[in-house]
Structure 1
Amino acid sequence: MFDPFVWALVLIVGLSLFGYSIGIAMLVGSIVFLAGRGFDTSIASETLLQGLFNSYTLLSIPLFILAADIMNAGSLADRLLRFSQAVVGRFRGGLGHVNVFSSLIFSGMSGSAIADAVGMGRIIINMMTKNGQYSPAYAAAITAASATIGPIIPPSIPMVLYALVSDTSIGFLFAAGILPGLLMGVVLMVMNGLIAKQRGFPRDEVVPLKALPGVTFRAIPALLLPLILLGGIYGGIMTPTEAAAVAAAYALVISVVVYRSVSAGQFYTTLLNSARSTAAVGILIAGALAFNYVITRQDVPASLAMFIQQFDLSPVGFLIAINLLMLALGCVLEGGAILLIIVPIFIPTAQAMGIDLVHFGVVVVVNAMLGLITPPYGLLLFVVANITGQPVGRIIRELLPFLGALFIALGIITFVPDFVLFLPRLLGYRG
């Protein structure tokens, strides 16, 4: 029997396996479903156009991408890296600590794990491997692990995607990501310290304390960006979308006027790269909007809720199941696709169980980011493998201790909601 929904799923999986963008695959699958059900196939285009044009929030995505690309093109990353060396490089395994610490700082600007790995990550990998102090596989592993922090600490493109499908406040989601992001940084630095002691890794060049003010001063323009963004959002001066525009403009002014490190040619290349990245995200969002209409017509959320009720799960049991499912899906699906396709199905059930949607959002976003380093698909694994020329299998072996540390952090984030919601509540959140 011809079931349009089954055929839609088969097409999506099949086209994805053949290398097509999952956004395009979802659009094709959605059109097949509509045609099979006898609906006007123009509903697909109408749905995605309404979703794209009626969401002011989505404007923040290309602006955050542009801000990150400008910072990578200029010398902001170099100055932030030097500041990180001065602060934490003096400890054993210093460059590993610098790797994580610089990701914590850079994550407050880019909102993208890939931008962190390609920009700051490429620089720190070269530093770690230059004198043979660290193996390329270890440098790649800690870079991939620390890059997952980028989308947790605001600004965060995945948080924007979650806000799109859950109708949750981006401002409170951004606030909720700060402490979990810091926790992820702490557990990675602890693990790096333990490995450094075991393997006898060296300390980095110790920057004298008297030189620290000068290094900090040179990095101040870059360090001010997260403060401007968060202060503007939580002070009620600007919306997250307006903050994204400010981030892009500020990064451009600092790079071109203050540091004079971006030429006209580099800026043109940056615009092209940002346009390509934005188009890729836009196709994914468009496909997800169309396929979410299919899921709604098929009444999948209600069917799933009835299925879950059979197991009489508690909220804690439900969160455990979500973690296991998200981590499994992360092995084969891209994080954005998970947030736009899978997560909306579970939101009604989470609400019915009394799970706070801001807390739930942080849990699923952290899971989606861990999926970027979860074998065998983990996109970040291939990014750092391309940078270092190392086999993915060798990187995975070095990554496992860091992945274990991040799972501990995920457990705390999942089962201690007060930890996640502490800052949002300070800022007036009533959840």
Structure 2
Amino acid sequence: MNLTSPFSLSIVAITALAFLGLPIGLSMICGSILYLALVGADMGIVAEQFLNGMYSNYVILAVPLFILAAELMNIGSMTERLLSFCNVLVGRFRGGLAQVNVVQSIIFAGMSGSAIADAAGTGSMMQKLMTQGGRYTPSFAAALTAVTAVIGPIIPPSIPMVIYSLVSDASIGYLFLAGMVPGLLMASLQMTQVAITARRKNFPVEAPVPLKDIPGITWRAAPALFMPVLLLGCIYSGITTPTEAAALAAAYALFISVVVYRSISWIAFYRAVFSSAKTSASIGMLIAGALVFNYVVTIENIPESIKTVLIGWDMSPVMFLVFVNIVLLLLGCVLEGTAILLIIVPVFIPTAQALGIDLVHFGVVVVVNIMLGLVTPPYGLLLFIVAKISGAPLRDIVRDAAPFLFWMVMCLGVITFVPDAVLWLPRLLGYQG
């Protein structure tokens, strides 16, 4: 590659600006503008092409709406009621509170679609409950909160799958369905590991919930438990699009918290909207930068060049998926997941299509890889979040998370080598891939 070419200079500019501390989204915008200026492109025409392409693309709106729904759930009393319900289900077993942590992540996965929202929303509460009276070490409680939060974006709805749909044109509805079995498989493996660790370390058994209290606890949690049923039912029945369902999720979370539970003040509501706006703006800037940079990459024909090289290596579909897994797992240790989805994954999509790999299956493999990156050092965003919440040393959290990471990698292997585990449910409901 010519080191003085416009594309090379663009890459140098993006890298330098990122190292200097500029957000990666803005770095990509600046580097891409430099490229367009060097090749003499008409900025007005390029901007018009982007706008024309985005007018009919409503999928991005789902991202801020799911973020808002998660914020509204976290400030209301939904969390406490759902945790009480989870305790009814699994609290009576050895290591019951640890099992509650896994089950609540499964339930929250059907509401927010965000691993960070799950960890930040219920993390502090689970940390306090698990460490109270020295029942669990702070590092184990934090590690479990981090690894269970990974389930959130795998079980529908899923913000990373919405973004993958944006760059691949794969169906969001079928992507959501495809994540169901892998997400439940990962959760079951985590619960298995909790049971093993509970017996080895003699974790406490929680006092069983009296039978007379169970109906009341279930009734109080019912409005929150109905949310994923409403959300997914509307999507798969065709009543709403995924974007409209995201708006419905936010409206339902607000209605339940304000009218039914009466647990949100005006100040809390303002903070939730403000926080979701900041998060959405951050993701939006990254999406904008990635779209502009991907335009540059397309002009340079980089995806086709990589496809030619990889096919020239005579890769089989399985070999290619193993290669992608290795690349994404390594990148996940140092890069943020959304950046990987928007910058790296589009380069692999033409090769996946050329090798006959189903894009829905490929999307689930990609999302699981990126979720693993959230709990692998040195970047591991979820590790930093739970370390801040718990105050436990990061090295201790990583040590306690290691057994769970092993099972999660095994789960990744299953969905990579057994596509039917991913595509069975979508095909059952009409997917032709």
Which whole-Å deviations, capped at 9, do the CAs of 1:155-189 have from their partners, x for residues lacking one? 11101001001111111111111111111111111
Give the drift of 1:283: 0.3
Q: Structure 1's 168 and 122: CA in aligned 2 closer, same or farther, altered over 3 A?
A: same
Residue 82 of structure 2 is matched in structure 1 by 80
Decide whether the 8 Å contact of 1:229 with 1:247 is kept in 2: yes
Pairing of 1:278-293 with structure 2 (within 5 A): 278-293=280-295
Residue 192 of structure 2 is matched in structure 1 by 190
> Which has the larger displacement, 396-405 or 39-48?
39-48
Match of 2:10 among 8, 11, 15: 8
Pairing of 1:417-428 with structure 2 (within 5 A): 417-428=419-430
Q: Structure 1's 283 and 169: CA in aligned 2 closer, same or farther, altered over 3 A?
A: same
Pairing of 1:243-254 with structure 2 (within 5 A): 243-254=245-256
Give the drift of 1:355: 0.7
Q: Give the percent of matched residue pairs that are identical in Structure 1 and Structure 2.
A: 59
Q: Structure 1's 128 and 52: CA in aligned 2 closer, same or farther, altered over 3 A?
A: farther
User: How far, CA to CA, are the matches of 1:193 and 1:9 in structure 2?
Assistant: 48
Letter matched to residue 289 of structure 1: L
User: How far, CA to CA, are the matches of 1:134 and 1:43 in structure 2?
Assistant: 60
> Which has the larger displacement, 299-308 or 206-215?
206-215
Letter matched to residue 361 of structure 2: H
Residue 62 of structure 2 is matched in structure 1 by 60
Structure 2 gap segments, 5+ residues each: none
Q: Structure 1's 121 and 50: CA in aligned 2 closer, same or farther, altered over 3 A?
A: farther
Decide whether the 8 Å contact of 1:331 with 1:375 is kept in 2: yes
Q: Structure 1's 139 and 19: CA in aligned 2 closer, same or farther, altered over 3 A?
A: farther
- State the TM-score, normalizing by the size of structure 2: 0.97
Decide whether the 8 Å contact of 1:52 with 1:286 is kept in 2: no
Give the drift of 1:42: 4.5
Residue 140 of structure 1 is matched in structure 2 by 142
Decide whether the 8 Å contact of 1:52 with 1:58 is kept in 2: no
User: How far, CA to CA, are the matches of 1:398 and 1:252 in structure 2?
Assistant: 36
Residue 110 of structure 2 is matched in structure 1 by 108
> Which has the larger displacement, 69-78 or 27-36?
27-36
Give the drift of 1:52: 4.3
Q: Structure 1's 324 and 257: CA in aligned 2 closer, same or farther, altered over 3 A?
A: same
User: How far, CA to CA, are the matches of 2:192 and 2:44 in structure 1?
Assistant: 54
Residue 373 of structure 2 is matched in structure 1 by 371
User: How far, CA to CA, are the matches of 2:348 and 2:40 in structure 1?
Assistant: 28
Decide whether the 8 Å contact of 1:27 with 1:44 is kept in 2: no
Residue 393 of structure 1 is matched in structure 2 by 395
User: How far, CA to CA, are the matches of 1:49 and 1:123 in structure 2?
Assistant: 43
Residue 42 of structure 2 is matched in structure 1 by 40
Q: Structure 1's 197 and 17: CA in aligned 2 closer, same or farther, altered over 3 A?
A: farther
Letter matched to residue 259 of structure 1: Y
Instruction: Give the secondary-structure state (helix, strand or coil) at the position aligned to 2:134.
Output: coil
- State the TM-score, normalizing by the size of structure 1: 0.97
User: How far, CA to CA, are the matches of 1:42 and 1:209 in structure 2?
Assistant: 68
Give the drift of 1:44: 5.9
Give the drift of 1:291: 0.5
User: How far, CA to CA, are the matches of 1:50 and 1:195 in structure 2?
Assistant: 55
User: How far, CA to CA, are the matches of 1:15 and 1:84 in structure 2?
Assistant: 46
Give the drift of 1:80: 0.6
Instruction: Give the secondary-structure state (helix, strand or coil) at the position aligned to 1:246.
Output: helix
> Which has the larger displacement, 200-209 or 242-251?
200-209
Pairing of 1:8-407 with structure 2 (within 5 A): 8-42=10-44, 45-46=47-48, 48-407=50-409
Give the drift of 1:50: 4.3
Which whole-Å deviations, capped at 9, do the CAs of 1:21-65 have from their partners, x for residues lacking one? 111111111112112222234566445544544311111111111
Give the drift of 1:94: 1.1
Aligned residue pairs total 431
> Which has the larger displacement, 206-215 or 36-45?
36-45
Letter matched to residue 142 of structure 2: A
Letter matched to residue 63 of structure 1: L
Q: Structure 1's 27 and 43: CA in aligned 2 closer, same or farther, altered over 3 A?
A: farther
Give the drift of 1:195: 1.1
